[in-house]
Chains A and B, each alone.
Chain A
Amino acid sequence: MEIIVSSTIVLGLIFGGYSLFLRGGEFLLRQGELGEVFLDRLFYLGWSIIFYLLILSNLITGFSTFYRSPEVAFLMTLPVDNNQIFRVKFVENLVYSSWALLILGIPLTLAYGGLQGLAPTQYMVVFLAGIIPFLFIATVFAALLLMILVYFSQFVKMRTLFILLGLGFSGLFYLYFSMSQQDTLLGGGLSNFRALGRYLANLSHTPFPFIPSYWLSKLFLDSESLVWVERLFYSALFLTTAAIGWEVISWFSEKIYFQTYQIMEGQGEKTGRKTISRVFKFSWPGLRSPTKALISKDMVQFLRTPQQWVQFLMMGFFIAVYIINLARGKVHFEDLSPFWRSTIYIFNFGFMGFILSALTTRFVYPVISMEGKSLWMLQMSPFSMKRVFIEKFWFAFFVIFTMTEAVALASNFFLGQRLEISVLTSGFLLLTSLALISLSLGLGAVYAQFDEPNPMKISSGYGGIITVVLSLIYVAFSVTSLIIVINLIQGNGSNLYIGGTVGFILILTALYTWLPLKWGFRAVDKYEH
């Protein structure tokens, strides 16, 4: 049953994504040559983002797959070559961290290929000689980076290494965007054709030719733009890079995998010289003692789990980039017509809904599972598990709602929205936060996996897929309702219709909040170990 439901959902997502990308692409192509350039550019950017996200997710899952898995500890005791263990775990890591991103990548690729007029056989070539090596190369990069990070963690704390890595990544990101002058169009205006020409010329130079997403975008060009020799060249480039990557990673694993494994094994003893964290010492005014204990525990665990805080910081980084982009475009938005301003505003709300879905599925869904086998300590305490559940709900609500509300206020300010529209967004975001946090927490309790220590694996399991799909469905309804309400307000529409739309979203929110919480309550009361 689980397989049927999961497959239906995944196929639905792929098909839905394909239709969306196809329609979006067709719209761009109707805009003439400028649209074509933008389409190529979007494809390249899409796969570039997927490439970076793949490296990141491989890096994060790699920690538990290569170093913290009890299976590796067991395999190490057997007469098996360490390099073989590494290779098996490499493939496992590749599959675990790639499948979710492929749900985004496959429809993007199918739609782009369709727009370029690729034949089914060409698709096959592109898939075998492009996408598979693409995923492979990202895993090689991540595994290499991971081994180097773990190796240096014997000299410098892992947290410091991650911060340095984050700063380096942010610096590169900034350099790339400032050198490629992505906002030339916004800065120069569209008033003269010379500015537009300069922008288009820029677009053709900005793709970085040494990353696999560039090669992939080249492989997809239609036969008129790309002769077969070039196609062969890029296919060969992919395959040889993947093969060299495999050789390099094998050499590295032979030299330092076991050594880095031992470094990680010794870290439990090395890291803790801090008797009590400041979080536990904080007085938390107004909170009762057991609530303080639960919040302190959750916060300290979060801060000491790199898979958690690194990904949270990365998400924060991408949101910050988005806000900075909006801030840089502020002057330009003021020149736009009300229609385009509303459209951008709706996209902005949709983006925030998407961020909320991602945040809740990734960080709220696994919180019950992450209690793991230590849950008995809470079950034994003199309060009900419902209270633990409620504490987790309010803590998640406080953090996530505050974050999204801050992003909403900042983005509405930069988009120059009227006060009443900003208030409306805040109201919709409050409802969205309530619904999505309840959904993630409730389903996370129903589909709890207490034996799985990796939060990423927990949130990408069966229950996680259902949660993300239901979250996106809610966001779609929420965005549609907001569009209707704004149109009705701007067009002096009937109050009855406005009331009806708001009533619908209120009922939907109540269902999304009440039902999962009820299921979650029931589930946490029945846990038996």
Chain B
Amino acid sequence: MIKLKHLSKQFESTLAVNDLSLNIEKGELFSFLGPNGAGKTTTIKMMVGLMTLNSGSIHMGGFDIEKEPKKAKAIIGYVPDSAFLYQHLTGMELLLMVGQLYSMDNKSIHQKLEILIERLVMREWLGDRVSGYSQGMKQRVAFASAFLHEPKILIIDEPMVGLDPKTARIIKDMLKELRQSGVTIFISTHNLNVAEELSDRIAIINRGKLLGVGTVESFRTVSGEKENLEERFLRIVEEEEMAKGL
């Protein structure tokens, strides 16, 4: 469903993403782990078409993001790490606008919205302007806007940022349900608990380079012994740094 082939991105002298290749199957929940500045957000922005590629290719649901961006974007839902939304619109107007941008008819927008409002507990404040929202409220609206057009692929950059524990639980449950219904989910995070709880597979990236891909179990099991995912993650990153003499 998602195919990244030899993907690279350079910003002046910094190689943000270095020859990255990944293959994610339909209905899989895939977590992308890495320390700050590892290249996670850059990879995601290239995947959703917000950034151009220096080399390589990205296929989303069979559509090349560079050659067929409209078709690819029509099946993607995206939640950024910090949701910048139109400040002067109300949350309701914003979601209505998103539905219309995806050419949904008003009836199905309202039907779908009704479910999302209920599920994400937004009814009380969705009629207020976005300028008055807290970070968590904005994040909930961003989730609703990504779910609204029923995408086949969901890309989420740091899913739990700014969310209170109750909403975080709701989001986790929704992600699990979507995965069961066949939606492919790609999340980028440095919260290892989230990755451990939700993921079918994880990948670790550092300084733009992929350090490993596998199931959570395969990562935790070293020489037949089970290890804490956090310790394993830190060791992999440390070994990579030492190998580079950093």
Residues of A within 8 A of B (CB): 268-277, 280, 288-290, 292-294, 296-297, 300-301, 304-305, 372-374, 376-384, 526, 528-529
List CB contacts (< 8 Å) of B88-122 with chain A. Answer: 88-90, 92-93, 96-98, 100-105
Q: Which residues of B are found within 8 Å of A270, using beta-carbon distances? A: 132
Cα A296 to Cα B128 with chains together (Å): 17
Q: Which residues of A are found within 8 Å of B70, using beta-carbon distances? A: 382-384
Do B100 and A377 touch (CB < 8 A)? no
Residues of B within 8 A of A (CB): 45, 48-52, 69-71, 73-74, 76, 78, 80, 84-90, 92-93, 96-98, 100-105, 126-129, 131-133, 145
Q: Which residues of A are found within 8 Å of B88, using beta-carbon distances? A: 300-301, 304-305
**Among A274, A374, A378, A384, contact of B101 (Cβ-Cβ < 8 Å):** A378
B44 nearest CB across to chain A (Å): 11
**Among B86, B97, B102, B127, contact of A382 (Cβ-Cβ < 8 Å):** B102
Given A268-B129, A276-B96, A526-B52, also A374-B85 (CB < 8 A):
yes
Q: Looking across the interface, which residue of chain A has its beta carbon closest to that of B73? A: A382
If over half of A's interface residues share one DSSP class (helix, strand or loop), that class is named, otherwise mixed; here it is helix
Do B98 and A269 touch (CB < 8 A)? no
Write 30 A-B pairs (CB below 8 A) sorted by A numbering: A268-B129, A269-B128, A269-B132, A272-B132, A273-B127, A274-B127, A275-B92, A275-B126, A276-B96, A276-B127, A277-B93, A280-B96, A289-B100, A289-B104, A293-B96, A297-B86, A297-B89, A300-B93, A301-B86, A301-B89, A373-B84, A374-B86, A380-B48, A381-B101, A382-B70, A382-B74, A382-B103, A383-B70, A526-B52, A529-B50
Cα A376 to Cα B80 with chains together (Å): 9
Q: Which residues of A are found within 8 Å of B89, using beta-carbon distances? A: 297, 300-301
**Among B50, B103, B127, contact of A289 (Cβ-Cβ < 8 Å):** B103
Given A292-B100, A297-B97, also A376-B50 (CB < 8 A):
yes
Given A301-B86, A383-B70, also A293-B52 (CB < 8 A):
no
B48 nearest CB across to chain A (Å): 6
Do B90 and A293 touch (CB < 8 A)? no
B83 nearest CB across to chain A (Å): 9
Beyond contacts A275-B127, A381-B102, A382-B70: 14 other A-B pairs, Cβ-Cβ < 8 A, are A268-B128, A272-B128, A275-B92, A276-B92, A276-B96, A289-B105, A293-B101, A297-B89, A301-B88, A379-B49, A379-B50, A380-B76, A381-B101, A526-B52
Do A528 and B45 touch (CB < 8 A)? yes
B218 nearest CB across to chain A (Å): 33
Q: Which residues of B are found within 8 Å of A381, using beta-carbon distances? A: 73, 98, 101-102
Cα A288 to Cα B96 with chains together (Å): 14
Q: Looking across the interface, which residue of chain B has its beta carbon closest to that of A388? A: B101
A370 nearest CB across to chain B (Å): 10
Q: Which residues of A are found within 8 Å of B73, using beta-carbon distances? A: 380-382
Q: Which 4 A-B pairs have the closest CB atoms?
A: A268-B132, A293-B100, A272-B129, A373-B84
Q: Which residues of A are found within 8 Å of B129, using beta-carbon distances? A: 268, 271-272, 304
Q: Which residues of A are found within 8 Å of B127, using beta-carbon distances? A: 272-276
B227 nearest CB across to chain A (Å): 38
Q: Which residues of B are found within 8 Å of A296, using beta-carbon distances? A: 93, 97, 100
A68 nearest CB across to chain B (Å): 10
Do A384 and B69 touch (CB < 8 A)? yes
Do A377 and B145 touch (CB < 8 A)? yes
**Among B48, B86, B90, B102, contact of A272 (Cβ-Cβ < 8 Å):** B90
Q: Which residues of B are found within 8 Å of A297, using beta-carbon distances? A: 86, 89, 93, 97
Q: Which residues of A are found within 8 Å of B101, using beta-carbon distances? A: 289-290, 293-294, 377-378, 381-383
Q: Looking across the interface, which residue of chain B has its beta carbon closest to that of A529? A: B50
Cα A379 to Cα B84 with chains together (Å): 13
Q: Looking across the interface, which residue of chain B has its beta carbon closest to that of A296? A: B97
Do A288 and B50 touch (CB < 8 A)? no
B219 nearest CB across to chain A (Å): 31
Q: Looking across the interface, which residue of chain A has its beta carbon closest to that of B133? A: A268
A275 nearest CB across to chain B (Å): 4
Q: Looking across the interface, which residue of chain A has its beta carbon closest to that of B42? A: A528
Q: Which residues of B are found within 8 Å of A373, using beta-carbon distances? A: 84
Cα A276 to Cα B94 with chains together (Å): 9
**Among A277, A290, A372, A380, contact of B78 (Cβ-Cβ < 8 Å):** A380
Q: Looking across the interface, which residue of chain A has its beta carbon closest to that of B103? A: A289
A310 nearest CB across to chain B (Å): 15
Cα A382 to Cα B132 with chains together (Å): 29
Q: Which residues of B are found within 8 Å of A376, using beta-carbon distances? A: 50, 78, 80, 84
Cα A442 to Cα B78 with chains together (Å): 29
Cα A50 to Cα B15 with chains together (Å): 53
Q: Which residues of B are found within 8 Å of A384, using beta-carbon distances? A: 69-70
Cα A305 to Cα B87 with chains together (Å): 10
Q: Which residues of A are found within 8 Å of B105, using beta-carbon distances? A: 289
Cα A373 to Cα B87 with chains together (Å): 10
Q: Which residues of A are found within 8 Å of B51, using beta-carbon distances? A: 528
Do A372 and B84 touch (CB < 8 A)? yes
Cα A304 to Cα B93 with chains together (Å): 13
